[in-house]
Structure 1
Amino acid sequence: MLIYHPAYDANHCLYRLLAILQATTEASITWDQLRVLDYYYLFPSQLKNIKPWPSNIKDFKIKLKSIPDQFEDINNPARVLYDLQVFQKTAALELIAKGIISKAEFESGMLKLNSDLLPGGYVELIGNDCFLKSDAFEVITRALPKVEFNGDSGLKKRSGLMEYIYDIK
């Protein structure tokens, strides 16, 4: 039996990364941050597992109640994020090759979207996507980029998705 999941669909990954980058244009996003945001895009109910919830985005915590629980049972979220890296990297490299993501910015660890090169069909598609208007997507793209990412109180530690003890302070 074949079971489809968007996590392992390269084209869906392109769409997700573009949607996240387009929604976070005012924030500077690192590669690792984008990977974590993409994970939460795929598994929005996992937002409820961020502990402790960051105080600087406490106003967004109420929005977690509207996020339905997921069907998947994720025993090892860090492993799932690790497995996603292949698809995420491939999608990012394709976007760099097309000039949609700045190669120079990517090489310096940051991601910058060149919105002028986005196809019109994509812009129309994104305008009709219900998830991009949801509370979950708002938390992912408006709240999480405001949270410190590295260190003892960063999103890496709070989410449990990435190693944080070797972060430079």
Structure 2
Amino acid sequence: MLIYHPAFDANHCLYRIVSILHSANKTGVSWSLLRLLDFYYLFPAQLKEISPWPSQISKYKRLLKNIPQQYEDINNSPRVFYDLEKFQKTAVLELIAKGIVSKESFEADKLCLVDDALPPSFIAYMKSDEFFNKDEFKIITEALPMVGLNGPQGLKKRSGLMEYIYDA
């Protein structure tokens, strides 16, 4: 039996990354942060596992209760996060090659969309996606980018998905 999951679908990865970059910080998102945001896009129930919840986004904590439990069981979320990287990297490189993500920003460890690279019809399509209007997406694209990524108080440690000890 073949079971589909969007985590390992290259086209779905392209869509997720464009969606995140379009909705998140317009000045750019670092590679590490994009990887985290993409993971939470795929597995929004994992947002409840961020501990302790960052105080600077405490107003978003009440939205966690609206997130339904996931149907799949993730026994080793850091491993799933690690396995996603090759799909994410391939998708970003393809978006750079197509001129949708800025190569210059990528080289400066910031990923941002090229102005006017997305047709208005595609932007309208993304905005019609029901996930765009959910609390999960709001937390992923509005709240999490406001939290620092590095160090003992950063998202790397709080999520448990990335190594943070050697951050500068």
Q: TM-score range by the shorter chain?
A: over 0.9
Instruction: Give the share of equivalent positions with the same residue, in percent.
Output: 60
Note the C-alpha offset of 1:30.
0.2
Q: Distance in 2 between matches of 1:59 and 1:25?
A: 19
Answer yes or no: is 1:113 the counterpart of 2:113: yes
Note the C-alpha offset of 1:27.
5.0
The one-letter amino acid paired with 1:167 is D
Note the C-alpha offset of 1:125.
1.6
- Give SS of 1:148's match: coil
Q: Distance in 1 between matches of 2:147 and 2:25?
A: 16
- Assess if the C-alpha contact under 8 Å between 1:25 and 1:113 holds in 2: no
The one-letter amino acid paired with 2:66 is S
Answer yes or no: is 1:140 the counterpart of 2:126: no
- Assess if the C-alpha contact under 8 Å between 1:14 and 1:91 holds in 2: yes
Query: 1:99-140 CA deviation, whole Å, 9 max, x = no partner?
Result: 111111101111111140113442232021000110000000
- Please identify, of 71-80 and 14-23, the stretch whose mean Cα deviation from structure 2 is larger: 71-80
- Assess if the C-alpha contact under 8 Å between 2:13 and 2:91 holds in 1: yes
- Assess if the C-alpha contact under 8 Å between 1:27 and 1:145 holds in 2: no
> Which stretches of structure 1, 4 residues or more, deviate above 3 A after TM superposition?
25-28
- Give SS of 1:111's match: coil
Instruction: Give aligned pairs, total.
Output: 168
| TM alignment of 1:36-115, pairs within 5 A | 36-115=36-115
- Give SS of 2:116's match: helix
- Assess if the C-alpha contact under 8 Å between 1:126 and 1:132 holds in 2: yes
- Please identify, of 54-63 and 69-78, the stretch whose mean Cα deviation from structure 2 is larger: 69-78
Q: 1:144 to 1:27 in 2, by over 3 A?
A: farther
Note the C-alpha offset of 1:25.
3.5
Provide TM-score, normalisation by structure 2. 0.97
Q: 1:45 to 1:27 in 2, by over 3 A?
A: farther
- Assess if the C-alpha contact under 8 Å between 2:48 and 2:64 holds in 1: yes
Query: 1:5-25 CA deviation, whole Å, 9 max, x = no partner?
Result: 000100000000000000013
1:154 maps to what in 2? 154
